[in-house]
Amino acid sequence: MPINRVYLENFRLFKKKDLILSEDKNFIQGLNGSGKTSVLESIDMLVNSKSFRTIKSKECINHKADSFQISLKGSFMNQEARMQCSNNTNGRLSFSRKLNNKSTKSNAILFLQTVLAKNLRMIEGEPDLRREHLNNLMFHVKPSSYKKYTAYNKALKQRNRCLKQKLDKSEILIWTEQLAALGVSLSKEQYEFFNRYKDTLIKSLKRSSAEQKLNFLEEAEVKFVKGWERSKSLLNAMQETVDKDLAIGYTSQGPHRMDCIYYIKGKKASSILSRGQLKLLILLIFLINHDLINSFAESDTVLLIDDLGSELDLENLEFALSEISKAPNQVILTGIKGEELEKIVSNFSNFKRINL
């Protein structure tokens, strides 16, 4: 099973910290400022090669040191895994990832999801949050889609550069044609994956609605928005909006504008669900993703959830903890010591409690 141990040295406020984790559910508790989020940040950095709190990784170095080192050990798909990361004030992030002592990429080891406060605004928030969520899932199960995404974005940058420089339309057309061809291929990948995502999600939400009597999930639906008008080809859509794109300085049509919209009984979920219901729905989506990933190929997944107690009221918190406790994958949850979340966690025997 996934992560057994996490070690932090001169990372954020920790001089040295060695954490032994359960392969099932973990609850890291402590007072405000005790480093709970920093533990999740270190795990996320080891897997995803960047911090979710800062673009400058040197800011993670303890103020009394000139370098940090973080590492984790685990057993993924019955193979020993080790990840290490270090940085110093004069260098760049350095990574080592090994599976059975052989170097490998992080996405070959596990799929990591991190749920922060911003992620619990995914449904009503900016399209970037929904787009990033769907793309990350797709890139993990279909690595070839990431190559298409990268090629598309390179061409997108070139076209946007032409637009900003107000070049002649004939020059812009060269990049428009190339971008449209790449975009159609990428959009097809996105749509095919979305349909798998949708099928898994709706089946699971219907089951939750029936078993848990969650009436607010009845007739849940999610729809795909490809990023340009359905009745037009991508090339025509880009050509027709070239004057607008020249005025704003970037490309307004294409799969980089893809979105997925969630509905309840035919209306946007963001308009009819309470804030607590929306957050609960989003949490269920993250829990369901384990099934989606494994519908492609057997894989280990890990779910990190930061400070859930501050995001949900008591009733929704109790339900959320019940669902988390039943999840088939490893979960690492943080919360403030002495608050309601700590009390509710104590009702579940499969949570290992870790004090900071």
| pLDDT of 260 above 70 | yes
User: pLDDT class for 327, splitting at 50, 70, 90?
Assistant: very high
Interatomic CA distance for residues 271 and 98, integer angstroms: 46
Interatomic CA distance for residues 267 and 223, integer angstroms: 11
121: its two tokens: 């605004």
Cα-based torsion angle of the residue sequence 56, 126, 175, 163 in order, rounded to the nearest 10 degrees: -80
User: pLDDT class for 55, splitting at 50, 70, 90?
Assistant: very high
Amino acid at site 263: Y
| pLDDT of 107 above 80 | no
| pLDDT of 339 above 70 | yes
Mean pLDDT of 19-27: 97
Q: How many C-beta neighbours within 10 Å does residue 338 have?
A: 11
Mean pLDDT of 276-283: 95
Tell me, what's the pLDDT at 284? Answer: 95
* Local structure of 138: helix, strand or coil: helix
Q: What is the pTM of this model?
A: 0.94
Interatomic CA distance for residues 47 and 283, integer angstroms: 21
Question: Please, are residues 254 and 262 in contact by the beta-carbon 8 Å criterion?
Answer: no
Share of the chain above pLDDT 70, in %: 100
| pLDDT of 87 above 80 | yes
Mean pLDDT of 240-259: 97
The overall average pLDDT reported for the chain is 94
Interatomic CA distance for residues 316 and 331, integer angstroms: 18
Tell me, what's the pLDDT at 209? Answer: 81
Question: Measured between alpha carbons, how far apart are the two ends of the chain, in Å?
Answer: 24
Q: In this structure, what DSSP letter does residue 113 have? A: E
Mean pLDDT of 299-303: 92
147-159 tens-digit pLDDT: 999 999 999 999 9
DSSP 143-158: HHHHHHHHHHHHHHHH
176-229 tens-digit pLDDT: 999 999 999 999 999 999 999 999 999 999 988 887 778 888 899 999 999 999
User: pLDDT class for 1, splitting at 50, 70, 90?
Assistant: low
* Local structure of 99: helix, strand or coil: strand
Question: Please, are residues 215 and 209 in contact by the beta-carbon 8 Å criterion?
Answer: yes
Map tokens 């979305």 to a residue.
Answer: 194
Map tokens 């607008």 to a residue.
Answer: 244
Tell me, what's the pLDDT at 91? Answer: 81
Mean pLDDT of 72-86: 92
User: pLDDT class for 137, splitting at 50, 70, 90?
Assistant: very high
Interatomic CA distance for residues 5 and 71, integer angstroms: 8
Tell me, what's the pLDDT at 108? Answer: 79
| pLDDT of 21 above 70 | yes
Element (H, E) at 11: strand 3-11
